[in-house]
Amino acid sequence: MRIPVPRPRSLAGQLFAMQAVLIAVLVAGYALFTYFSDRSQAEEAAGRQAMAVARSVADTPSVLAAIRTPRPTTALQPYALRVQRDTGVDFVTIMNPQGIRWTHPDENQIGKHFRGHIDRALQGESFTETYTGTLGPSVRAVTPIEDEDKRIVGLVSAGIKVEAISKRVQDQVTALLGVAGGALALGAVGTYVINARLRRHTHGMNAAELSRMHDYHEAALHAVREGLLMLDAQYRVALINDGGQELLGVTGDVVGRSVAELGLPAPLTGALLASEPRVDEVHLTAQRVLVVNTSPVSGGEHRGTVVTLRDVTELQSMMGELDSERGFTQALRSQAHEAANRLHTVVSLIELGRSDEAVDFATAELELAQALTDQVVAAVGEPVLAALLLGKTAQANERGVELVVSEESCLDDGLLPSTLPARDLVTILGNLIDNAVDAAQGSVSARVTVAAYSTNTDAAELVLRVSDTGTGVDPAHTEAVFQRGFSTKPSGPAGRGLGLALVRQAVTRHTGTLTVREAEGGGAEFEARLPLGERGGLAAGSEPADSGRSIEGGGSGRSPEDSGPGRSPEGSGPGRPADDTHSARVTVIPHPTQATESTSSDRPDKDPRSPGHAEGAGSARAADGAGPERPAEGTHPAETTATPHPTQATESVSADEGAAVGPTDGGDDV
């Protein structure tokens, strides 16, 4: 049979036993100390009392007179008994210098020799001693009786029995033990109450279990990557792990400080100070997007709050990219539908024998798409932003909103420093455009105007400005629109009011500024300014004409006739890459007056099979007779590079530059 191992006593039980033993030892020690101390004091008091009685008797004249009589006992015995009774001593013995008793409580002892020391008294000294006589152990005093000539004519001894002294001390000790017992009982009750409370707080665990739990607690606290924050009843930091300090961006010892003193954003501080629980709330800090959960500590009264923090910055970015890709997919689906309709129209015209009209129809469609692409790419040479604008243009068109790139826009490729990542630019501009499209949709002449340029100053800045023709922003809400969760639109499944908060977070991260004001002609105008620092690439702030584009000419620097679809000699489609290329690249088309120079300097490889190559800048046909050759009007001898369809441009820029299109929030504005 297995004998069960007894469970170690709980910490509260151990403390109770230790306190009980401690109180008992203290009481017993104090009782012993008091007993011996009182006994010593009682013996000293008895000695002083006996000495006083003995001297009083020795100084009495009647005693000296009785000693001179022939029978001193006759007069001295009654006197000694009376003094003994009146003073409370146990005996008064008067004797001659030889120690023969004249008086004694026991008359049988009269005439016998005194038991004790008298030598010092015979020398004229009074003294006390403890000695065992005929009455037992006693504390006695011995003093000489002197006559007028200072001769010792007798001795007096008065004493108190030790038994009487012990009885007095025992009575005191008994009372002391009673008080000590009461103190022990009271201490035991108090200890029990305290330990019951301690047992409740420690859940009955012993010291080893508490130590083991503490070790597990410390290991788990520093192992988890999520942030853990514990607040006390006064909302002071009671505990914070490494993940919490990293996610909140706090350094140093913050334990004991109030949440309001940590310098966190106001919405996040409000969530931490709230008494009601918060579940999966999204909050923004200077660098991160956090999901916050708060839960009060159970226990009846408010004892504190447990806060968990989860970093979803990367997840939010991926969600934004997914939303952008979904928008591009919808735009591509719509474009594919329209392209199929146009292709059917061209096929039908050819079947009807109207080849010239089919060519004119197809050329006009390609020129329209090419003009839009040329305008955007000529204005914004930065590949990621150009791809974003082309994609957003298609999305806005699907929603009945015209997206226009303003004439002042001019951003050359290579202008942006490495400290300004493309992802942050997409976050800023993408969310601003989405919000503007949402605001402009349904308005008269719905339009969104985008400007992107750099200032030509010592402190160069990148300016991104988006305006719309919507209802604008209420002046009372100019600051609130940048707060997380603020929105005048109905909440969707994923929530609203995060887009502009993400924009401000990205702008703040790069020490930029973000403003909102009323646009010309109504609507809202948002402007973000980001410092560029050391400018790279081409000169910033150049005039729009320097980029070789013409807004009036469709933004391509060519006449409509010059922008026809270039085909390779083998008859490849418009904008189709040559066999030795992997993907198409959007290229800014030079101004007509600079075409020759740019062709000779920038494109030394004049491969007639290059994408978009056009002989005579017209619509070149293959020699195998794939349709009648249609000469272009107003051709220019310069070789130009055709730009693919907007959807192709977006895809090509993303593939060649490796930039993620996103994240945007899908238009969470007012």
- Structural domains of the chain, ranges and CATH numbers in brackets: 12-169 (3.30.450.20), 227-311 (3.30.450.20), 317-326+365-544+645-657 (3.30.565.10), 557-642 (no CATH)
155: closest CA among 125, 187, 188? 125
The one-letter code for the residue type at 296 is: P
Question: Is residue 139 very low, low, confident or very high in pLDDT (cuts 50, 70, 90)?
Answer: confident
Question: Is residue 476 very low, low, confident or very high in pLDDT (cuts 50, 70, 90)?
Answer: low
- Spatial contact of 165 and 136, defined as CB atoms under 8 Å apart: no
**∠ CA 530-534-536 to the nearest 5 degrees?**
100
pLDDT of residue 372: 66
Angstrom distance (rounded) from CA 239 to CA 452: 47
pLDDT tens for each residue of 395-407: 888 888 888 888 8
Cβ contacts of 79-88, under 8 Å, gap ≥ 24 = 79/103, 81/105, 83/53, 83/56, 83/57, 84/158, 87/49, 87/53, 87/158, 88/49, 88/160
Question: Is residue 301 very low, low, confident or very high in pLDDT (cuts 50, 70, 90)?
Answer: low
Instruction: Give residue for tokens 């729009």.
Output: 544
pLDDT of residue 660: 36
CB atoms within 10 A of CB 264: 19
pLDDT of residue 612: 37
Angstrom distance (rounded) from CA 532 to CA 461: 5
Give mean pLDDT, residues 422-432: 83
Kindly write down the DSSP assignment for every residue of 229-252, as one continuous string: EEE-TTSBEEEE-HHHHHHHT--S
pLDDT of residue 469: 87
Give mean pLDDT, residues 178-198: 78
Instruction: Give residue for tokens 């107003």.
Output: 634
Q: In percent, how much of the chain has pLDDT > 70? A: 68
CA dihedral 514→517→519→523, nearest 10 degrees, is 100
- Spatial contact of 607 and 559, defined as CB atoms under 8 Å apart: no
Angstrom distance (rounded) from CA 650 to CA 401: 19
Helices within 294-421 (DSSP H only): 313-351, 355-379, 383-398
Q: What's the start-to-end Cα distance of the chain, in Å? A: 77
Mean pLDDT of the chain: 71
The one-letter code for the residue type at 516 is: V
The one-letter code for the residue type at 600 is: S
As to burial, measured by CB atoms within 10 angstroms (0-12 exposed, 13-18 middle, 19+ buried), residue 329 is exposed
The one-letter code for the residue type at 599 is: T
In this predicted structure, the answer to whether residue 604 has a pLDDT above a threshold of 50 is no
The one-letter code for the residue type at 391 is: G
Q: In percent, how much of the chain has pLDDT > 90? A: 1
pLDDT tens for each residue of 219-265: 877 777 788 888 888 788 888 888 887 788 787 788 888 888 888 88
Total residue length of the chain: 670
Question: Is residue 549 very low, low, confident or very high in pLDDT (cuts 50, 70, 90)?
Answer: very low
Angstrom distance (rounded) from CA 240 to CA 250: 10
Distance of CA 641 to the CA centre of its chain: 55
Helices within 525-620 (DSSP H only): 595-602
- Spatial contact of 290 and 247, defined as CB atoms under 8 Å apart: yes
Cβ contacts of 218-223, under 8 Å, gap ≥ 24 = none
Question: Is residue 487 very low, low, confident or very high in pLDDT (cuts 50, 70, 90)?
Answer: low
Q: Secondary structure of the chain: what % helix, strand, coil (to 5)?
A: 45, 15, 40
Please give the DSSP secondary-structure letter assigned to residue 141: E
pLDDT of residue 173: 74
Backbone angles phi, psi at 385, to 5 degrees: -65, -35
- 455 φ/ψ sector (left φ>0, alpha ψ -120 to 50, else beta): beta
pLDDT of residue 478: 61
Give mean pLDDT, residues 368-381: 69
In this predicted structure, the answer to whether residue 615 has a pLDDT above a threshold of 60 is no
pLDDT of residue 25: 83
The lowest-confidence range among 44-53, 57-66, 286-295 is 286-295
- Spatial contact of 50 and 142, defined as CB atoms under 8 Å apart: no
Backbone angles phi, psi at 488, to 5 degrees: -100, 0
In this predicted structure, the answer to whether residue 466 has a pLDDT above a threshold of 70 is yes
pLDDT tens for each residue of 641-663: 333 333 333 333 333 333 333 34
Angstrom distance (rounded) from CA 279 to CA 271: 10
Please give the DSSP secondary-structure letter assigned to residue 150: S
In this predicted structure, the answer to whether residue 558 has a pLDDT above a threshold of 60 is no
Give mean pLDDT, residues 487-494: 50
In this predicted structure, the answer to whether residue 625 has a pLDDT above a threshold of 60 is no
In this predicted structure, the answer to whether residue 356 has a pLDDT above a threshold of 70 is yes
Question: Is residue 303 very low, low, confident or very high in pLDDT (cuts 50, 70, 90)?
Answer: confident
In this predicted structure, the answer to whether residue 1 has a pLDDT above a threshold of 50 is no
List Cα–Cα distances, 17 to 11, 25, 198, in angstroms.
10, 12, 14
The lowest-confidence range among 157-161, 383-387, 501-505, 541-545 is 541-545
Give mean pLDDT, residues 428-439: 87
pLDDT of residue 8: 60
